[in-house]
Structure 1
């Protein structure tokens, strides 16, 4: 073995210095050896208020872009509009060919958007956008804030600071419950406005008028119609967070295999954009899978939020009762009414929302 020169020994001594101190001291050398931390550490590095702001901005961007699909989805979930669209040739029958069914539903969705535009005007494509934004911004802020904060709390208190799928499950469930409880009145008003017709039959002039009508005719309790379905719907958010975290972990592991311990310093701008697109696409894919599994709750929630019948008695009074009535009167396929516009809205919405969320977090964290 060749002897090392004095200069080589001095260089090695300087490089090993950070590792010779106590654990407490060595932990302050952030670049020492650039050791690979295999657990996700986003929640430790990002301040809670950054999650709150970034989530609101991301939710707002996604809601504005995809609002027309949200209008169509809500109408197709409603029994009144479903009957009207069926009578106009939009048949709800299905075939064994899922590709043909998907293409047909896609054409019908675009046809309904075109029909709404011709008959009710451009502004009708953005009905409910006001309360939607009023709901989306706090909803996404609360969701991202609660998820990021509780994920950190649960991992520290229950799993020695390490993340795990069951930690993600607890954090997502907490975030879903908090978000649904806080924002249900806003979504109720949005649904009522989207189901409201234009012209002489219009019932509500604006969001405030709709709010006053609900309080006057149904009481404060009326603002929380559909809350049970919203709690059931939190399962969708839980599945999305779980799938998103797992896919993001896979992307991170691939990055570590390719770039090693060097991390961000070795990545080109193209590499960073590629990984950002992969993470954003993962959010869309996670939303797609979660929506397919849990979609029936969306239909039930819309029915529960419908305005009462003319005699003042609501047709849909509870979660289980609504499932029974819908399946008995309209068949199981009606539980997926509006699925196509829902996917056309929520998948790109999730891509835009999570992509914007990451960008805003990056911008605010670097300040």
Structure 2
């Protein structure tokens, strides 16, 4: 990247910018730390996105004094209650399945996050410099950032989709007879669905490239707006960076969230030997017909509680390593 001097690589004679490997290492470390810290919210989000757990999740969140269910249609409290119900679900998962259940799928998540973030940050950080160098006279702008982010999203999604399929299946395995180690789940998917099973949800992942693109473009713009804090060090500079990363992720997630639900549904296991969701458009129509438009935002609160601090942690570590290695 590095942000303070976007055109610095334009004079390089090599294909890749100098110290291009730093983006790979920094992205992987940032992604790993963020994933560990926010894993419980990831489990809750996946379950709320899946129709296999909708009724169960509604039940464990509890009922009001009058017996009314406090989750799902008719629940009180609006947005604030969404945060309350998320903490209720986390509490009940820990109580009913044990604290380790809050970290289900963390192994595949880390196996996926480290290469995914490494690939994404490497492709974006170096890609924007290459695109600027060859197509925009060495100058970065919004179009350069948008192009680099789109390419990075497609490359990352294609390379890591099998890992996310395994992670999703592990997080949806709640009953004891459905629990699998990662290797067991890989074998189960291969036996029942073949190689194609590892690429379920890929179309939704490509749709999700828009989220990463919006996030990177917003992050670059917000970081530029907070550039007045750079060089001052201490709390002020890091708050500007944290705010830029968190805000960019929050806005991008709110705009593009339905693709997350569609992707989770597409990655669900067979039920009674049948695959309910078979394609992106078919999944969209089935969800709307059976559950209504609100189902496309299932798990949104848990998602935001995970991805916003995750992005803040990840981008801070990423920028810190780049500056340390500069």
TM-score (norm 1): 0.81
Q: Does 1:324 align with 2:285?
A: yes
What corresponds to 2:147 in structure 1? Answer: 170
What corresponds to 1:103 in structure 2? Answer: 80
Distance change in 2, residues 1:43/1:347 (3 Å) = farther
Q: Does 1:92 align with 2:72?
A: yes
Structure 2: distance between partners of 1:42 and 1:81: 51
Gaps of 5+ in 2: 11-16, 61-68
Distance change in 2, residues 1:213/1:75 (3 Å) = same
What corresponds to 1:341 in structure 2? Answer: 302
What corresponds to 2:322 in structure 1? Answer: 361
What corresponds to 1:300 in structure 2? Answer: 262
Gaps of 5+ in 1: 1-36, 256-262
What corresponds to 2:125 in structure 1? Answer: 148
What corresponds to 1:289 in structure 2? Answer: 251
Q: CA deviation at 1:93?
A: 2.4
Distance change in 2, residues 1:349/1:334 (3 Å) = same
Q: CA deviation at 1:136?
A: 0.3
Q: Does 1:127 align with 2:129?
A: no
User: What does the per-residue CA deviation read over 1:241-291, in whole Å, with 9 as the maximum and x for residues that have no partner?
Assistant: 010000111122x35xxxxxxx84xx4x43xx4212211221110000000
Distance change in 2, residues 1:274/1:52 (3 Å) = same
CA contact (8 A) 2:7 2:129 kept: no
Q: CA deviation at 1:322?
A: 0.3
CA contact (8 A) 2:47 2:57 kept: no
Q: Find 2:178's aligned residue among 202, 205, 224.
A: 202
User: What does the per-residue CA deviation read over 1:49-86, in whole Å, with 9 as the maximum and x for residues that have no partner?
Assistant: 00000000000000000000000000000101112223
CA contact (8 A) 1:43 1:151 kept: no
Structure 1: distance between partners of 2:151 and 2:114: 18
Distance change in 2, residues 1:39/1:56 (3 Å) = closer
RMSD between aligned alpha carbons?
A: 1.9
Structure 1: distance between partners of 2:70 and 2:206: 31
Structure 2: distance between partners of 1:247 and 1:40: 15
Q: CA deviation at 1:198?
A: 3.9
| Secondary structure of residue in 1 paired with 2:220 | helix
Q: Find 2:137's aligned residue among 140, 146, 160.
A: 160
What corresponds to 1:68 in structure 2? Answer: 40
TM-score (norm 2): 0.91
Greater Rg over alpha carbons, structure: 1
